[in-house]
Structures are given as structure tokens and as C-alpha cells.
Amino acid sequence: MQKILIALAVSTALAAMAPGYAAAAGSKDAYKTATRQADDTYKKDKDQCKPLKGNEKDVCMAEAKAKQKISKADAEAEYKGTDKARASARKTRADAEYSVAKEKCDDRKGNDKDVCIKDAKAARDSTRADAKADRKVAAAKNDAKEARHDAAEDKRDAQYKAAAERCDSQSGDAKDRCIKDARARFGKS
């Protein structure tokens, strides 16, 4: 089972380091290029599987398809640049790696095969849970950032009102200058 997990880790690292798969953030052209490259690479990988036989061929095909799905999901996540897209890419990676691991388990028999599949499911579910947690943390950070911004704005409003109230004790040009200074200091227009 450790061999499968090591193979998954290596294939994940290789897919992540594969040249041309990462699109520049927000670039539609780079995204399209990356998805085309993923399709082209899939075709080449699929052709390399043709001479193989039996489960070895099935594993090879599953790896080629997984590599394509992961590359496309990573390109989309990079293009969209959102926490939701990154979480979706991690989920896609987990599912693709699971399909490869499950295919590799087909060579086994009995309890050994059952254990292999359970381990593959556990790895997939763990990665999915991490993606879900990361998304929740990012959402909480955004909520906290927004709350801090709102609090700072409320504080500035209160300070401005106090400064404007102090200006009321003055009159004429002095009062106008005082209010103008308070507006500038607290970002009021």
C-alpha cells in the first residue's frame, strides 16, 4: 500500500511540476493554452498505453486521464484565482488520484484488494476534507477582514463626529477650517 501512496505522491508532484500546465493568473490565453496542452499530452500519453496489456494498460490509461483532469483543473483554478476554484482543483486532483489508485488495486485479490481500495478512499477523502477546510478558512479570513474594515470605518465616523462637534465652538472662517481639517483627517468628503 505504501508503494501506491508513494506512486500517488510522485505522480502528483510530477503533474504539478509539468511545464506549461500553470496558466498565468487571470490570463484567458494562458488558460486556453494550458487546456490545449493538457489535451495534447493526454493524446500522447494514451498512445503510449496502446502496446500495454491487461491491468497495466488500464492503469496507464487512468494515469493519462488523471493527469489531463488535474492539469485542466489547475489551469482553471489559476485562471479564476478564487478560493472556490482552488478547492475545486484540489477535489479534482483527489478524485483523479483515487481513480488511478483504485485501478492499481485491481491487480490484488481478496482482503489485500479491499485494504488497497480503502486506503485509496481514505487518501481521497483526506484531500477533499483539506480542500473543504481551506475554503472555510479563506471565507472566515474574508469575513474577519471585512469586520475589521467595518470597525475601522465606524471608529473613523465616531472620531469625525467628535472633531466636528469641537468645531462647533468656533465660528466663521475658523469653524470652516476646523471642519475642513477634520474631514481631511478622517477621510470625509
The pLDDT tens digits for 125-153 are: 888 888 888 778 777 777 777 778 888 88
Burial (Cβ within 10 Å: 0-12, 13-18, ≥19) of residue 106: middle
pLDDT in tens, 49-82: 999 999 999 999 999 999 999 999 999 999 998 8
Question: When comparing pLDDT for 189 and 87, which is higher?
Answer: 87
**93 neighbors 116 (Cβ within 8 angstroms):** no
> What tens digit of pLDDT does each residue of 3-52 get?
444 444 444 444 444 443 433 446 899 999 999 999 999 999 999 999 99
Evaluate whether 22 touches 75 at the Cβ level (below 8 Å). yes
Taking the complete model, does pTM exceed 0.85, yes or no? no
Q: For residues 189 and 186, give the distance between their C-alpha atoms in angstroms, rounded to a whole number.
A: 9
- The CA R_g of the chain, rounded to the nearest whole Å, is 28
Measured over the CA atoms of residue 35, residue 44, residue 90 and residue 88, the dihedral's sign is positive
- Of these ranges, 77-81, 146-150, 156-160, 185-189, the one predicted with the greatest mean pLDDT is 77-81
